[in-house]
């Protein structure tokens, strides 16, 4: 098990590459603002790594497809007739036109809009207009003209692709993170909502707003009233990272000690208020089902009961509500729940905050070649009874500043308001490097160490 050290200022890489500049409390700013790094990422990062293209439930029927685009590459992910999933480079082998223009849909075959060349959903050629005209031409057989395959694999209901045919298997790539997260049964999650926007910042700037909780006190002060203490500790698992709350923290339902307010004699009203506020301001991580089940505390648990008993009963109420609906519930032990933590950053561009009930998840991608813009996907995922999830609606908002609270909720609106200002500030001659908290934000330097080693190998 790999851990991030506890002493501020310790260098976490001695490879002789630019990663050597990264310390637990020091991350150079260049990769956030330089077009040079956009080019390096296009060459060394995106083509070589496993990354999430979609969810399995987006590909229910043969011919269902999703197009995943990143760093100038377009990948076509398709459900096959044998129920397997394949992925291909989304490009016609005739003259290089993008083959499928739609971002998602269903197709019995893929036909190029330029000259009509057509491929079956398994990538084999189906029709070439005037094919006989190429008689005698080399490398013009059925095999050579197949759509070019891309590695694809699934984990936890997520469909991953990798453009490097020599890359290690997905399970090896995920490493110990997979072992820790698997008991959560993410494959039972379904979309509650799906939103995409364009943010005026580098993709790493956006993602790093969600892989630490150190910002909560200043950015989301309203949460402190019922969240308990917000101090966390980060941990690295190879290239991936997580954080979890400290063991001796004030529990949910109590005000953070930062507020100066005392522990309440009765946690129950604060717990109920916390779940109500999360539903009102985020609509993710916890379902309305669990929010409603939390109210049982007032009728079935004495206010003077020990904290651990109150929290255990709340968990039981959530489980019973989910099982009554047929949604099921993950059988995590207390030790597994603690090890799971509060947040995971799956390298390079996926962050999610899991609960037994579901998650809020983020995927960040560069927006063209502009280091100051990114495509940002936000997914609310939850456990539902089979086939009882809401219809999937992919909402796209190119300008996040319009009706922000109505579209994204208060919490995300508060986060988004920081990112453009951070991106501007990093371009200042007066700013040299980020100085992350070496205990609470060490996911960030861990990411940059692996990121820079990859770019400058």
Mind listing the pLDDT tens digit for each residue in 370-396? 999 999 999 999 999 999 999 999 999
pTM of the model: 0.94
Domain annotation covers residue 211: no
Q: Kindly report, residue by residue over 44-94, the tens digit of the pLDDT.
A: 999 999 999 999 999 999 999 999 999 999 999 999 999 999 999 999 999
Q: Kindly report, residue by residue over 353-374, the tens digit of the pLDDT.
A: 999 999 999 999 999 999 999 9
The answer to whether residue 9 scores a pLDDT higher than 70 is no
Domain annotation covers residue 366: no
Q: Cα–Cα distance between 206 and 376 in angstroms, integer?
A: 8
- Around Cβ 398, how many Cβ atoms within 10 Å? 9
Domain annotation covers residue 316: no
Query: Which pair of tokens denotes residue 86?
Result: 């394949």
CATH code of the domain containing 113: 2.102.10.10
Domain annotation covers residue 177: yes
Domain annotation covers residue 127: yes
For residues 434-453, give the mean pLDDT: 97
Domain annotation covers residue 408: no
Q: Cα–Cα distance between 288 and 290 in angstroms, integer?
A: 5
Domain annotation covers residue 77: yes
Q: Cα–Cα distance between 294 and 297 in angstroms, integer?
A: 6
Q: Kindly report, residue by residue over 254-265, the tens digit of the pLDDT.
A: 999 999 999 999
Three-state secondary structure of the chain = CCCCCCCCCCECCCCCCHHHHCECCEEECHHHHCHHHHHHHHHHHCCCCCEEEEEHHHCCCCCEEEEEEECCEEEEEEECCCCCEEEEECECCCCCCECCCCCEEECCEEECCCCCCEEECCCCEEECCCHHHHCCCCCCCCCCCCCCEEEEEEECCEEEEECCCCCCCHHHHHCHHHHHHHHHCHHHEEEEEEEEEEECCCHHHHHCCCCCCCCHHHHCHHHHHCCCCCCEEEEEECCEEEEEECCCCCCCCCCCHHHCCCCCCCCHHHHHHHHHHHHHHCCCCCCHHHHHHCCHHHHHCCCCCCHHHHHHHHHHHHHHHHHHHCCCCCCCCHHHHHHHCCEEEECCCEEEEECCCEEEEEEEEEECCEEEEEEEEEEEEEECCCCCCCCCCEEEECCCCCCHHHHHHHHHHHHHHHHHHHHHHHCCCCCCEECCCCCCCCHHHHHHHHHHHHHCC
Query: Which pair of tokens denotes residue 44?
Result: 């060394």
The predicted pLDDT at position 367 comes to: 98
Q: What is the mean pLDDT of the chain?
A: 95
Domain annotation covers residue 60: yes
- Residue 59: domain span: 49-184
Structural domain total, the chain: 1
Residue 268: band (very low, low, confident or very high) from pLDDT cuts 50, 70, 90? very high
CA dihedral 270, 276, 244, 173 (to 10 degrees): 170
Residues 6+ apart with CB under 8 A from 212: 232, 234, 243, 343, 436, 437, 440, 441, 443, 444
Q: Kindly report, residue by residue over 269-315, the tens digit of the pLDDT.
A: 999 999 999 999 999 999 999 999 999 999 999 999 999 999 999 99
């Amino acid at each position: 098990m790999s851990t991030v050290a506890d002493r501020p200022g310790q260098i976490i890489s001695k490879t002789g590459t630019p990663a050597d500049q990264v310390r637990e409390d020091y991350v150079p700013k260049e990769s956030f603002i330089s077009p040079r790094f956009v080019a390096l990422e296009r060459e060394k990062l995106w083509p070589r790594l496993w990354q999430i293209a979609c969810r399995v439930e987006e590909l229910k029927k043969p011919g269902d497809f999703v197009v995943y685009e990143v760093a100038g590459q377009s990948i076509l992910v398709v459900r096959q007739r044998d129920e397997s999933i394949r992925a291909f480079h989304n490009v016609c082998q005739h003259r290089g036109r993008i083959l499928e223009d739609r971002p998602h849909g269903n197709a019995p075959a893929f036909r190029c809009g330029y000259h009509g060349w057509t491929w079956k959903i398994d990538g084999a050629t189906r029709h070439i207009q005037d094919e006989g005209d190429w008689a005698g031409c080399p490398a013009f057989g059925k095999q050579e003209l197949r759509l070019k395959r891309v590695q694809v694999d699934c984990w936890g209901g997520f469909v991953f692709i990798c453009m490097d045919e020599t890359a290690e298997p997905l399970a090896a790539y995920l490493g110990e993170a997979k072992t820790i997260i698997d008991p959560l049964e993410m494959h039972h999650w379904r979309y509650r909502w799906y939103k995409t926007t364009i943010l005026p910042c580098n993709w790493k700037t956006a993602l790093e707003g969600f892989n630490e909780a150190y910002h909560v006190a200043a950015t989301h002060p309203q949460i402190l009233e019922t969240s308990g203490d917000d101090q966390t500790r980060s941990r690295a698992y190879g290239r991936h990272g997580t954080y979890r709350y400290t063991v001796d923290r004030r529990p949910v339902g109590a005000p953070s000690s930062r507020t100066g307010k005392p522990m309440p004699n009765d946690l129950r009203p604060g717990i109920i208020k916390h779940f109500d506020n999360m539903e009102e301001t985020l609509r993710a991580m916890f379902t309305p089902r669990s929010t409603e089940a939390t109210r049982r505390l007032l009728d079935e648990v004495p206010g003077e009961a020990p904290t651990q008993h109150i929290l255990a009963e709340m968990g039981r109420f959530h489980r019973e509500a989910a099982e009554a609906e047929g949604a099921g519930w993950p059988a995590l032990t207390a030790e597994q729940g603690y090890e799971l933590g509060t947040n995971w950053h799956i390298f390079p561009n996926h962050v999610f905050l899991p609960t037994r009930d579901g998650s809020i998840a983020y995927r960040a991608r560069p927006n063209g070649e502009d280091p100051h813009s990114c495509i940002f996907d936000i997914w609310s995922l939850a456990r539902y009874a089979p086939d009882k999830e809401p219809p999937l609606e992919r909402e796209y908002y190119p300008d996040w500043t319009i009706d922000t609270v109505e579209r994204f909720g208060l919490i995300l609106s508060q986060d988004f308001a920081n990112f453009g200002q951070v991106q501007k500030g990093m371009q200042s001659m007066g700013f040299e490097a980020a100085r992350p908290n070496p205990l609470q934000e060490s996911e960030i330097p861990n990411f940059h160490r692996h990121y820079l080693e990859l770019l400058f190998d």
